[in-house]
């Protein structure tokens, strides 16, 4: 699933130049999308244990941990998982052994001190180099929205989601390549071309209709949704594929156009802006040329890019071209949580699993955390934009 809260990426202010040579050098503005140098690795081995993540805190926060761990092991039991290993020296067997070792330690340890000691003894700890080579990673969050919808275009329900078209061409790993046109593969139509020239209409691809084009766009970004039908039933959809066009964050576009300040950016702010300025919505949506297709699911998901269910606060989405899929990870950052009807930011140290990817997650400086389903998860995801560090744990050889 292409589940990323991708249009909530932030535009950071550029610091001014130093006034004279005696002034301190200006701090570099973060560029979380910065690509690695050719041949560079996204992971570095941490040799100083003082730089390890806080395993003690992770001992006290284990809800859903074993379920997510089992989902990664299920993925590695499939023959297709071998297609992506070895990965930069990490073997399939070592990643599986790391997951099994963590499962054993969770049963063996009796307290936080023992758990931390076992982790330090049994695992090599690697850290993402981040956007700047110093380990700084921007953490955002995504969720599964719940929207009202209809299986027929009627009344208020006029904005469709589409199934995967037959002419979309993907590589073996799911990477979109374009559109089949005779014997050639050409660029797929952009979002604007699909809307204005009706390229998908009349092909029986529409399968659920929503009340708002913004609702449809949010589902494109999140990669899955639960749809409440007029008769009270629930209808679940998940990511099936996308066009090859790059994702553009409409939140970042709004900030660049000075519609509001970067520090005010949230999903709630975006909704509010377009509620006040509905005439601007179509033009901003079309700035994101990428287009996503969906499929009906059994409701057991949502599912990540590995085909495994994602788990709240246990599944992360990363760039799978530079990070090993399915692996055991740890994150240290900040996460807002709801208390007495308001959001409170807390330090967060979690064991997680690299089970998903996203259109905006394309560098060593980005990571997306799945935070659940529904309105509260939307509030949390919409306000998550904090720096932190991303670690990968591999059992010692």
What is the average pLDDT across 100-122?
A: 97
Buried b (16+ CB within 10 A) or exposed e, 148-162: ebbbeeeeebebbbb
pLDDT of residue 20: 38
274 pLDDT more than 90: yes
pLDDT of residue 19: 37
> Would the CATH topology of 6-13+30-142+304-395 be identical to that of 144-296?
no
The H-or-E segment that residue 217 falls in is helix 213-222
pLDDT bucket at 24, cuts 50 / 70 / 90: low
339 pLDDT more than 60: yes
Q: Which residue has the tokens 């969720």?
A: 143
Q: Find out whether the peptide bond into 86 is cis, omega within 30 degrees of 0.
A: yes
Task: Tell me which of 327 and 298 has the higher pLDDT.
Answer: 327
For residue 169, what are the contacts with CB-CB under 8 A and spacing of at least 6? 176, 177, 178, 179, 180, 185
pLDDT of residue 172: 83
Does CATH number 3.40.50.720 belong to domain 144-296? no
What is the average pLDDT across 158-184?
A: 93
pLDDT of residue 262: 87
What is the average pLDDT across 178-205?
A: 95
Strand bridging mode 224-228 / 385-395:
unpaired
pLDDT of residue 25: 59
pLDDT of residue 26: 62
In angstroms, the CA 266 to CA 8 distance is 6
pLDDT of residue 229: 93
In angstroms, the CA 117 to CA 302 distance is 34
150 pLDDT more than 90: yes
For Cα atoms 315, 175, 64, give the angle at the middle one, nearest 5 degrees. Answer: 10
Strand bridging mode 43-45 / 342-356:
unpaired
In angstroms, the CA 267 to CA 217 distance is 12
Q: pLDDT per residue over 354-382, tens digit each?
A: 999 887 788 999 999 999 998 899 999 98
Strand partners, 97: none
**Which of 118-132, 148-162, 220-234, 289-303 has the lowest average pLDDT?**
289-303
Q: Are 393 and 14 in contact (CB under 8 A)?
A: no
Would the pTM of this model clear 0.85, i.e. be above it?
Answer: no
Task: Tell me which of 86 and 19 has the higher pLDDT.
Answer: 86
Whole-number percent of the chain with pLDDT over 70:
93
Q: Considering only CA atoms, give the Rg of the chain.
A: 22
pLDDT of residue 297: 86
pLDDT of residue 6: 42
CA distances in angstroms from 13 to 30, 133, 255, 263, 387, listed in the order given? 9, 20, 11, 10, 15
What is the average pLDDT across 184-193?
A: 96
What average pLDDT does the structure give for the chain? 90
259 pLDDT more than 70: yes
How many CA atoms lie within 13 Å of 278's alpha carbon, on the beta-carbon side? 3
For Cα atoms 290, 225, 216, give the angle at the middle one, nearest 5 degrees. Answer: 45
Q: pLDDT per residue over 213-227, tens digit each?
A: 999 999 999 889 999
**Ranges of each domain in the chain:** 6-13+30-142+304-395, 144-296
Task: Tell me which of 292 and 9 has the higher pLDDT.
Answer: 292
Helix (H, G, I), strand (E, B) or coil at 388: strand
Does CATH number 3.30.750.24 belong to domain 6-13+30-142+304-395? no
Q: What is the 3-state secondary structure (H, E, C) of 220-255?
A: HHHCEEEEECCCCCEEEEEEEEECCCCCCCHHHHHH
**By CB neighbour count within 10 A (0-12 exposed, 13-18 middle, 19+ buried), where does 373 fall?**
middle
**Which of 20-24, 126-130, 359-363, 392-396 has the lowest average pLDDT?**
20-24
DSSP-assigned letter for residue 163: B
What is the average pLDDT across 149-160?
A: 94
DSSP-assigned letter for residue 149: E
């Amino acid at each position: 699933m292409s589940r990323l809260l991708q249009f909530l990426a932030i535009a950071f202010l550029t610091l001014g130049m130093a006034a004279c040579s005696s002034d301190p050098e200006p701090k570099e503005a973060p560029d979380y999308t910065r690509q690695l140098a050719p041949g560079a690795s996204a992971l570095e081995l941490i040799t100083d244990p003082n730089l390890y993540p806080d395993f003690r805190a992770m001992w006290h926060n284990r809800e859903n941990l074993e379920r997510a761990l089992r989902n990664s092991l299920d993925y590695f039991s499939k023959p297709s998982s071998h297609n992506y290993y070895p990965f930069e020296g990490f073997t399939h067997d070592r990643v599986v052994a790391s997951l099994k070792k963590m499962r054993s330690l969770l049963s063996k340890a009796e307290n936080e001190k023992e758990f931390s000691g076992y982790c330090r003894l049994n695992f090599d700890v690697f850290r993402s180099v981040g956007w700047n080579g110093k380990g700084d990673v921007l953490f955002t969050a995504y969720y599964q929205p719940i929207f009202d919808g209809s299986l027929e275009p009627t009344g208020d329900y006029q904005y469709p989601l589409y199934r995967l078209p037959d002419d979309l061409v993907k590589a073996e790993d799911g990477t979109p390549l374009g559109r089949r046109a005779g014997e050639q593969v050409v660029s797929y139509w952009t979002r604007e071309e699909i809307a204005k020239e009706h390229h998908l209409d009349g092909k029986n691809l529409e399968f659920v209709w929503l009340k708002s084009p913004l609702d449809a766009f949010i589902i494109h970004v999140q990669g899955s949704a639960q749809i409440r039908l007029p008769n009270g039933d629930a209808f679940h959809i998940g990511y099936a594929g996308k066009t090859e066009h790059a994702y553009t964050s409409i939140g970042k576009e709004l900030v660049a156009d000075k519609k509001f300040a970067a520090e005010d950016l949230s999903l709630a702010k975006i909704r509010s802006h377009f509620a006040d300025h509905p005439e601007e919505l179509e033009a901003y949506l079309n700035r994101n040329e990428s287009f996503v297709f969906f499929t009906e699911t059994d409701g057991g998901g949502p599912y990540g890019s590995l085909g495994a269910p994602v788990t709240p606060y246990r599944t992360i989405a990363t760039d799978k071209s530079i990070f090993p899929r399915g692996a055991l990870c740890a994150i240290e950052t900040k996460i807002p949580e709801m208390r007495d009807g308001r959001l409170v930011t807390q330090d967060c140290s979690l064991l997680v699993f690299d089970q998903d990817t996203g259109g905006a997650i394309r560098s060593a400086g980005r990571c997306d955390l799945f935070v659940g389903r529904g309105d509260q998860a939307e509030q949390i995801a919409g306000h998550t934009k904090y720096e932190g560090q991303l670690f990968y744990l591999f059992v010692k050889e």
